[in-house]
Structure 1
Amino acid sequence: MVVPTYDEVENIAWIIDRLHAAQPGVEVLVVDDASPDGTGRVADALAADDPRVHVLHRSGKGGLGAAYLAGFAWALAEGYDVVGEMDADGSHQPEQLSRLLTALEHADLVIGSRWVPGGSVVNWPWQREVLSRGGNLYVRLLLGIDVRDATAGYRLFRRTTLEKIDLDEVRSTGYVFQTDLVARTLRAGLTVTEVPIEFVERIRGDSKMSGQVALESLRRITQWGLRERLAHLRGRR
C-alpha cells in the first residue's frame, strides 16, 4: 500500500499498526513530502523495526498525484503485483481492505467507494457530502464514465493495469489525479469495480481537503476533461 504523507506525525504509526493487524502480509510504502512535523523520521523508525515498512522521501510538497506516481514507480521497480492507495489519516479503514482484495480477483482496478449502495461517510458536514456527490456526478457526465466515486483514494491496482495505462504520460499531480487514472483505466479497456466502504473523517491532524481545494480540483477536471474530449473528437476525423 502506498501511503502519501505530509504532516501526519500523529497518524502514521497508528494507521500502519491497524493495517498490519488487519492484513499482516501487506507491505507499506510511506511517501513523505518532507513533512516539517517529523513524519518522515517516524516512518524511518518504523521501517528500521519492520521489514514490511518502506519509506520514500521527496524533497518537498509536490502534490498528491506526484507522490502516488513516485510510489507506483518504486513499487513496480520492486516487482509488486498489486499496488494500493490509502490515506494516512484513518479515513480509509484498513479493516475494510479485505473487501477490495476480494474484488480484485475479477477486476483490474478496485475502488473503495462512498457513493455506491452500502457506502457511507461519517462525520461529514452536509455541504461536503453535496460537493463530493455533485462533483462525482459532474465527472460522470463530463467524461462519460460509469463510476460513482471517481475521486476516491482507497484503491487497488493490478501491476498490469499500471503498466498498461502508461504512467509516464500522466501529468495531473493534484486531486484530479484520481479521476485521471480511472478514466485511463477504462479507456484502456480494463475493468473497474467499486466496493462499498465507510469513509471516516479524520479525528487527528489537519485535513488537506477544503472547499477551495475541491472546487479547484473540479476546475482542473473540467479543463482536462474538455481537452480529452476534443482530442478524442479530432482522433475520429
Structure 2
Amino acid sequence: MSDHPAADHPAADDALAQSAPAEHSTPHPLGRVVMVMPTFNEADNLTWIVERLLHAQPAVEVLVVDDSSPDGTGRIADDLAERDPRVHVLHRTAKGGLGAAYLAGFAWALEEGFDVIGEMDADGSHQPEQLHRLLAALGEADLVIGSRWIPGGSVVNWPLQRELLSRGGNLYVRLLLGIDVKDATAGFRVYRRTTLEKIGLEEVRSTGYVFQTDLVSRTLHAGLTVREVPIEFVERVRGASKMSGQVAVESLQRITAWGLRDRWQQLRRRR
C-alpha cells in the first residue's frame, strides 16, 4: 500500500491519504468511479457498509474520509484498505463538518484521476445495492441524486415529524432558490469529474449538511444537468445520528441568505 499526501488543495492540507493501486479492479463503463464516505464514530457500521458496496459494485472504489474518530473508525478503515486495493483512506486531524470532509475527499479523488465521484453515508442509510440506478442515470446527466421524495422513493423507520421536516425543508429550498429538485438535501449522489471542476469548489464555504444544497445550486447555475432517481432511505440502526437542531438552523439560515441574495440580484438586473 502506498501513501499519498493529501495534496496541495486547501481543503485537504491537514490530511494524509492512504491507498493502494487498483489495477486489479474491473473497469466501469463510466471510467474510474469512487464513492466518498465521510466517517465520525462509525466503527459499528463501516466494515458492513464497505463490504456491501464492494459486493454490489465490484468495479467501484471507496474513499473513507475519517475525522479522527475516537472510537477507532480510522483504524478499521486502514484494515479494510490493507485487505482490498479498492479501499482508500483519508485521515483528517479534526472534525470539520460534513462539507469539509467531502471537499477533502473530492480534492483527493480529482487529483487521483477519477472520472466519477460520488457521495454516500457510512451508516447504512444509503443502500449500495441501489447505486447502479444513479450510475446508469449519469449517462445523461452531470449530477445524479438518489431521491427520497420523487415517485418510487421512500424512507424506512422515520417518524412523521422528521419526514415533514425534510419534505418541508426541500420545499423551502425549491421556493427560495428557484430550483426544480425535489431532494436537494440528499447525500446519496454521483458527479461527473467535469461537474466538480466547473462549479468552483474552491469557493464553497458551507461545512454542514447545507453543503448538499449548495452543490446542487452551483451545478444548476453552471448550466449543467441534474437528475433524480428514486431510492429507499433506511434510518440507521447502529450508532448516533449527526443531525441536530443546530445543524438544521444553520442550513435554514444559509439557504435564506442565498435566496435573498439571488432575489436582490434579480431585482438589480431588472432595474
Q: Structure 1 length normalisation: TM-score?
A: 0.97
Shift of 1:166: 1.3
Q: Which runs of 4+ in 1 moved over 4 A?
A: 231-237
Name 1:73's counterpart in structure 2: 107
Conservation of the 8 A alpha-carbon contact between 2:45 and 2:238: yes
Name 1:219's counterpart in structure 2: 253
Indicate which of 180, 193, 216 corresponds to 1:159.
193
Conservation of the 8 A alpha-carbon contact between 2:144 and 2:191: yes
Conservation of the 8 A alpha-carbon contact between 1:128 and 1:211: no
- Partners of 2:245 and 2:229 lie apart in 1 by 26
Conservation of the 8 A alpha-carbon contact between 1:3 and 1:30: yes
Task: Give the alignment of 1:144-155 within 5 angstroms.
Answer: 144-155=178-189
Conservation of the 8 A alpha-carbon contact between 2:44 and 2:238: yes
1:45-70 deviations in Å (ceiling 9; x for gaps) = 11111110000011111010010000
Q: Secondary structure at the match of 1:199?
A: strand
Indicate which of 58, 65, 70 corresponds to 1:31.
65
Task: Give the alignment of 1:68-147 within 5 angstroms.
Answer: 68-147=102-181
Name 1:179's counterpart in structure 2: 213
The residue type paired with residue 73 of structure 1 is: A
Name 1:191's counterpart in structure 2: 225
- Partners of 1:135 and 1:213 lie apart in 2 by 13
Q: Secondary structure at the match of 2:52?
A: helix
Shift of 1:222: 1.1
Shift of 1:235: 5.7
Shift of 1:217: 1.6
Q: Secondary structure at the match of 2:88?
A: strand
1:35-94 deviations in Å (ceiling 9; x for gaps) = 111101110111111110000011111010010000000000000000000000000000
Count of aligned positions: 237
Task: Give the alignment of 1:37-52 within 5 angstroms.
Answer: 37-52=71-86
- Point out where structure 1 has 5 or more consecutive residues left out of the alignment: none
- Partners of 1:234 and 1:36 lie apart in 2 by 50
The residue type paired with residue 216 of structure 1 is: E
Q: Secondary structure at the match of 2:106?
A: helix
Shift of 1:128: 0.2
- Partners of 1:83 and 1:200 lie apart in 2 by 22
The residue type paired with residue 132 of structure 1 is: S
- Partners of 2:72 and 2:258 lie apart in 1 by 35
- Partners of 1:212 and 1:62 lie apart in 2 by 15
- Partners of 1:100 and 1:230 lie apart in 2 by 35
- Partners of 2:265 and 2:91 lie apart in 1 by 36
Shift of 1:211: 4.1
Q: Secondary structure at the match of 2:60?
A: coil
Conservation of the 8 A alpha-carbon contact between 1:112 and 1:195: yes
1:197-225 deviations in Å (ceiling 9; x for gaps) = 00000000000113443233222221233
Name 1:17's counterpart in structure 2: 51
Does residue 59 in structure 1 map to residue 68 in structure 2? no
Question: Identity over the aligned pairs, expressed in percent?
Answer: 80
- Point out where structure 2 has 5 or more consecutive residues left out of the alignment: 1-34
Taking structure 1 as reference, are residues 233 and 34 closer, same or farther at Cα in structure 2, changes over 3 Å only?
farther
